Structure 1
Amino acid sequence: MNILVTGGAGYIGSHTVLSLLNNDFDVIVFDNLSNSSIESIRRVEKLTDKKVTFVKGDIQDKAALAELFCAHNIDAVIHFAALKAVGESSTMPLAYYQNNVNGSLCLLEVMATFKVKHFIFSSSATVYGGDNNVPYIETMPLGEASSPYGASKVMVERMLNDVAKADSDFRAISLRYFNPIGAHESGQIGEAPQGVPNNLLPYIAQVAVGKRKSLQVFGDDYQTLDGTCERDYLHVMDLAEGHVAALKWLNKQRGFTGVEAFNLGTGKALSVLSIIRAFEQVSQQNIRYEIGARRSGDLAAFWANADKANRLLGWQATRSLEQMIEDTWRWQVNNPEGYL
């Protein structure tokens, strides 16, 4: 099968491309490289000894997408291409709606033109909003998102449901995942943000390696065990394998039409301070941090109920927090400047 992976050169995308290749799928990556590097694809090819077809382009460019679909007989699409920083989305909301919502719309329109009916969407736990109780479960309604980033994911999920209602042949999966961290165990691919990291683990790792002076913790007055935000952290390779499991499940379904949502998480929440302490223990480095004000769009705590993914997809997160941090640290030490 030919699988189109939009945003496939990014952090989660590159690890998923590696997992797809290891499961004998043929992969076409479409990425504008705005926050990623072609080097990640080169390294994936070396790790798997398989080739990836790479096309540089933006998902809002329908002509480029149409040219790609003309050139390749695409069986399914895994859609990662999106802006993804919660805090940044509150200061740049229009950019998030333009890229995440309009980009997804353009992609779905071109898919409809070329009659490609299988779609896996990189969604987020933020679609549950702040009103649903934790742990989040897929039967809960889509909530009032706490940030433009979350709102953009809600909008795309609603779009997918409407497309499925209008086209009985369209089948999609929304993978609502929580906080991916870690890197491939080889230390060859990992999270390589351009500029200041927006996510916790790469920032901690850059402090540990001496690239940054200290970490700012956004608030210590939440109603949590130590006052800092609590999140469900899972290994990026567990997450990548979840996408492959979802694709295989989708391919086997005969009577299913519409959209299915699956949570991908560990079912446990860990605080920012506990992650810092665990990183110090694994790396044997002192992590300097400062407590700052709360960040716009952050919820106090959320974590997954992933029973549905375990039951239907045969998937569960298996890698420990220690392995997540060991792999992050190996990646950072081996690649202090990321892919540069």
Structure 2
Amino acid sequence: MRVLVSGGAGYIGSHTVVQLVAAGHEVVIVDNFANSKPSVVNRLEALTGEHLPVHAFDLRDHDKTELLFANEHIDAVIHFAGLKAVGESVELPLEYYENNLGTTFSLVRAMQRHGVDKLVFSSSATVYGLDQEAATEDRPTSATNPYGWTKVMQEQILRDVAVANPAMRFALLRYFNPVGAHVSGTIGEDPQGIPNNLVPYIAQVAVGRREYLSVYGDDYPTRDGTGERDYIHVEDLAAGHLAALTRLGTMDEPVGVWNLGTGRSTSVLEMLHAFERAVGHELPHRVVGRRAGDVAVSYADPHKANAELGWATTRSVDDMCVDTWRWQQANPNGFPD
């Protein structure tokens, strides 16, 4: 298929692009480079050996989105584009609602006008609200921050579109904490500013960009008192998107919902120690107060994706840390501007 990947220069999008090309699909990228850099595309072309058409604009621009679909033959869409920092969404709620909902409105309208009926949507475990332990897809959705609510709302919008247009097929993929990098070390996570997520922060401590890791709370009811999360290797996550894309072609129902996770939780300190094994020495950390809104334990029940998509994770926490460290060592300051 010819697949449009929105946010295709971003962290998860870039790894998915590589796997799409390896699977024989053609890829078109649309990205406004708000949270990514154009130099990513050069590396993607080097990895894939293919020229990748790139449209650099914001999907909320209806005219440019219309021209994209008019000029490019598109069979399916994988939709990653959106703002994604939980803390920032609390500070800038209007920007998050406007951006994340607006891109989806514009994209789906253009799909309908041009007869494109398949969309894989990048959702999130945040749609489980405070009830994120062993989460299953039939659990009621909720949220604790504006970012999470944008995901809940986008899922509902796509369900409503499917009712109005039963020919459409949507895959809603809820995932937890993607980490790791491509085995080549040429693409990986390059957060802009201070990292919002644990592993990139640890990596920046290891490479000398940060003085120490702040551990937010060690008094949770968990194995070692620190928060536990379901970490998934970005390559396993990308493979899940390909599996969902394939599934859309054979689905009877218009909407499918799947968790993409390992089904296991890893604590903050366990992840820190795994990264220390990858680096070969201890890394400085300090325990500070809890962050508001953090839950003690969050992990997926992935059995539905295992059974219906024929997909499962294959990489361990140690693999995630080794691959992240390879990327960070080769790119201590991230992608070049």
TM-score of the alignment, normalized to the shorter chain, above 0.5: yes
* Deviation, structure 1 residue 23: 0.4
Contact persistence 1:87–1:295 (CA under 8 A): no
Q: Look up the equivalent residue of 2:291 and give its one-letter code.
A: R
Matches within 5 A, 1:21-40: 21-40=21-40
Q: Offset of 1:233 from its aligned partner?
A: 0.3
Taking structure 2 as the reference length, what is the TM-score of the superposition? 0.97
What secondary structure does 2:297 align onto? coil
Partner Cα separation in structure 2 for residue 221 and residue 172 of structure 1: 40
Distance (whole Å) between structure 1 residues aligned to residue 16 and residue 293 of structure 2? 28
Q: Do the aligned residues in 2 keep the contact of 1:86 with 1:297 (CA within 8 Å)? A: no
Aligned twin of 1:100: 100
Is 1:290 the counterpart of 2:286? The answer is yes
Name the residue aligned to 1:137: 136
Q: Which amino acid aligns with 1:13?
A: G
Matched, 1:246 2:223: no
Deviations 1:304-340 (A, max 9, x none): 1111111111100001111110000000000101111
In structure 2, how many angstroms separate the alpha carbons of the residues matched to 1:105 and 1:248?
Answer: 24
2-side partners of 1:219 and 1:153: how far apart?
Answer: 27
Q: What SS is found at the alignment partner of 1:252?
A: coil
Q: TM (normalized to structure 1)?
A: 0.96
Greater alpha carbon shift after TM alignment, 96-105 vs 152-161: 96-105
Runs of 4+ in structure 1 off by over 4 angstroms are none
- Contact persistence 1:146–1:298 (CA under 8 A): no
Unpaired runs of at least 5, structure 2: none
Q: Which runs of 5+ in 1 are unaligned?
A: none
Q: Distance in 2 between matches of 1:215 and 1:290?
A: 6
Q: Identify which of 216, 219, 230 aligns with 1:232.
A: 230
Do the aligned residues in 1 keep the contact of 2:125 with 2:132 (CA within 8 Å)?
A: no
Per-residue CA distance 1:245-269 (angstroms, 9 max, x = gap): 111111233xx13211000000000
Which of 190, 211, 215 is the aligned partner of 2:188?
Answer: 190
Q: Which residue of 1 aligns with 2:267?
A: 271
What's the counterpart of residue 315 of structure 2? 319
Equivalent pair of 2:174/2:260 in contact (CA under 8 Å): yes
**Which residue pairs with 1:211 in the alignment?**
209
Alpha carbons 1:125, 1:176 under 8 Å: kept: yes
Find the counterpart in structure 1 of residue 46 from structure 2: 46
The whole-number CA distance in structure 1 between the counterparts of 2:220 and 2:100 is: 29
* Correspondence 1:110-149 to 2 at 5 A: 110-130=110-130, 132=131, 134-142=133-141, 144-149=142-147
1:56-103: CA deviations, max 9, x gaps? 011111111111001111111100001111222122211111111222
**C-alpha displacement of 1:52:** 1.0
* Per-residue deviation, 1:133: 6.1
Give the counterpart letter for 2:15 in structure 1.
H
Aligned-partner SS, 2:259: strand
Pair 1:261 & 2:257 matched: yes
Q: Is the 8 A contact 2:132 2:300 kept in 1?
A: no
Task: Give identity over the alignment, percent.
Answer: 51
For the aligned residues, what is the CA RMSD?
A: 1.2
Mapped to 1, the partners of 2:132 and 2:102 lie a distance apart of 30
Q: Distance in 2 between matches of 1:124 and 1:49?
A: 31
Is the contact between residue 132 and residue 297 of structure 2 (CA under 8 Å) also seen in structure 1? no
Distance in 1 (alpha carbons) for counterparts of 2:281 and 2:97: 39
Q: 2-side partners of 1:260 and 1:294: how far apart?
A: 35
